[in-house]
Structure 1
Amino acid sequence: MDYSSLTSQIRVMHQQERSASYRYVDYMSVAANIVRPSDREALCNWGYHTVAVCKVSRSTAVKAISYFDRFLATCAPTAMRALTDLGDVQLAFVACLVIALKVHSGFNVEADFVSNEVCRNEYDANEIIAMEMEVLQALGWKLNGPLGHDFIDYYLEAVPLIQEIHREFLTRFSKGLAELALTKYSLALHRPSEVAFASIFCALQHAEFDVAESLLAIRMISGLDQNDPKLRKLLHSMSCLLVSEPERNAARRPSESSPVSIWNSAAPR
């Protein structure tokens, strides 16, 4: 893709992530909410584990997490109810993962299989199908918004004269950090473009090659500046994340393979 087309595409993605359909909202600030950041993190980790078992790209789990956050941020009655019931919020996450597997990985996901093998009969097939439809309707069937992974690919494509081995390192490091950041609720509230920029910036700091030209190119293509106060705070948080979880444990396996095991007991349904 030539530079003009690249900048045009990124501009469209920036506009899209700022739109009402894809903008992230702090749904945990709702008074009735009982879902904690740690609950959400457990679900995200379970999602990463599940796609690994299915042998599909981790970006499928990233999509599912995006659907989940966007769904809970809507005013849909089912979404608002889920914020008051851990059983329902788990069901919503399962539905979002099923949708992502169907849409982005081409899986023919049968509701009976999900009910019996994935959820261990905590939810029946009809409940799963019904929640899928609730999510799709609440999202207005808009399933292709830009994610951090997308921005990382486009930002790095703009870097001139970079060796392929260096590009692979930056891509792998940046996407891994972005995946980990997505499990942290406070970081997930940032725009995907900002998380992508911060992830690449952290990757460049760990690179063993000259990064000055690369950083300048990414600043120009993204329109972002690491000296901006908001981004400086984000960069600090993500740097701390690297220190506290250097092995990037976003794929760590819960004690059981079903999300039902994430909490000691699900809320009454």
Structure 2
Amino acid sequence: MPALTPNHLEGSLLPALDQNDLADLIAIMRIQEETTYMVHDYLADKEELRKLSAKPVDEDCRTKMCEWCYHVIDYCKFRRETVGIGMSFLDRYLCTRKGKETLGNRKEYQLAAMTTLYVAIKIHEPMEIETSLLADLSHGMYDEMEFVTMEQTILQTLKFRVNGPTPLGFVQHFMALTPKGIHHRVTQLLMDFARFQTELVISHQKFVAIRPSEIGFAAILNALEGIGENLVSKKDQAAFIRNIEDFSEIAKEDVEKTQLKLSLLFITLIEGEYDEVLKVADSFKEEEEPEKLTNGISPGKTLGNLFRRGSK
């Protein structure tokens, strides 16, 4: 049974599913992210990268290419989640022996990033863009055949496996586990809040190696804390979290560090530099409580306040 992918209804709730079917879908997605679709931080080994080139691909390259991809997607009025899907193709490709060669050549990296967006659009959008348009968008840096060749190389390297789980996909499936006591409008608000966070992580290399299920779970935890107990009772929050833990076999405590990183990312987009704050968070030992990192301030509540500020 294939997992439902975000191209069906980005930012929307899934239709009602039988609990057994939902459990099977989540289990399949969890297996996928642990096996075929698993990635690592291919930019972590700086010494190895310098062996490839004096000026290898770095985190800033990812940020710039993501910005470019979002500009294209927004202009074409496609779903923004398609950028995340395209970047997931790119990440998996760069984790392979063939893709590693690309890390030493920024021009080839840019070609690969543009191509994976093209592939994601072709698979997940109702309309596809032509390679001639990509060539035009590259301002003559690449011709049509270079995109065609790169597409074939990437797809063959990935063995045409292009239906993996994403953070938003997990959020959508987890949201199907909300208790009946939560009003449907509140459920949609939680969905929107969590979806927004999954979109933020795409541009940041620090999240590449974190499993999509953990990001999805962490985003929902922040969403719950962000809207508070006035809209979702403490009892319903606990039941919802317990449902996610049971179906995903992930403990809430195991994603708290990711939850904190998501909060810091949003905060620093508005008030500071993310990477500098992240170094502080990473300096704490795994066993320390996340509350100590923020002097007792709840990451989710902080994120919720800023989310509302940013929406004004």
**TM-score, length-normalised on structure 2?**
0.74
> Which secondary structure does the structure 1 equivalent of 2:266 belong to?
helix
Q: How many residues align?
A: 241
- Deviating 4+ runs (over 4 angstroms): none
Q: Which consecutive residues of structure 2, in runs of 5 or more, have no partner in the other structure?
A: 1-16, 272-312
Residue of structure 2 aligned with 1:232, choices 256, 259, 283: 256
**What is aligned with 1:196?**
216
1:116-136 deviation digits (Å, cap 9, x = unpaired): 1x2111111111111111111
Give 1:18's aligned amino acid.
Answer: E
Residue of structure 1 aligned with 2:241, choices 215, 223, 226: 215
The alpha-carbon distance between structure 1 residues 17 and 46, as it changes in their structure 2 partners (threshold 3 A), is same
Q: Which consecutive residues of structure 1, in runs of 5 or more, have no partner in the other structure?
A: 248-269
Output the CA distance in 2 between the equivalents of 1:93 and 1:174: 25
Instruction: Determine which structure has more spread, i.e. the larger CA radius of gyration.
Output: 2
Superposed displacement of residue 107, structure 1:
2.3
**TM-score, length-normalised on structure 1?**
0.85
Output the CA distance in 2 between the equivalents of 1:245 and 1:57: 22
Output the CA distance in 1 between the equivalents of 2:178 and 2:192: 15
Output the CA distance in 2 between the equivalents of 1:239 and 1:108: 35
Give 2:167's aligned amino acid.
Answer: G
**What is aligned with 1:142?**
161
% identical equivalent positions: 28
1:181-218 deviation digits (Å, cap 9, x = unpaired): 12211112100000000111111110142233322322
1:49-92 deviation digits (Å, cap 9, x = unpaired): 2111110111111110100111111111xx22210011110000
2:201–2:262 Cα contact (<8 Å) kept: yes
Output the CA distance in 2 between the equivalents of 1:29 and 1:101: 29
Output the CA distance in 2 between the equivalents of 1:167 and 1:52: 26
- The higher-RCO structure (CA 8 Å, 6+ apart) is 1
Output the CA distance in 2 between the equivalents of 1:204 and 1:94: 35
Output the CA distance in 2 between the equivalents of 1:70 and 1:4: 30
Which moved further from structure 2: 140-149 or 209-218? 209-218
Matched, 1:64 2:83: no
2:37–2:92 Cα contact (<8 Å) kept: yes
1:210-238 deviation digits (Å, cap 9, x = unpaired): 2333223222222222223xx22212211
2:190–2:223 Cα contact (<8 Å) kept: yes
Matched, 1:104 2:124: yes
Output the CA distance in 1 between the equivalents of 2:195 and 2:138: 28
**What is aligned with 2:19?**
3
**What is aligned with 1:113?**
133
Give 1:121's aligned amino acid.
Answer: G
**What is aligned with 1:27?**
42
Across the aligned residues of Structure 1 and Structure 2, the Cα RMSD in angstroms comes to 1.6
Superposed displacement of residue 8, structure 1:
1.3
Superposed displacement of residue 245, structure 1:
2.0
Which moved further from structure 2: 202-211 or 57-66? 202-211
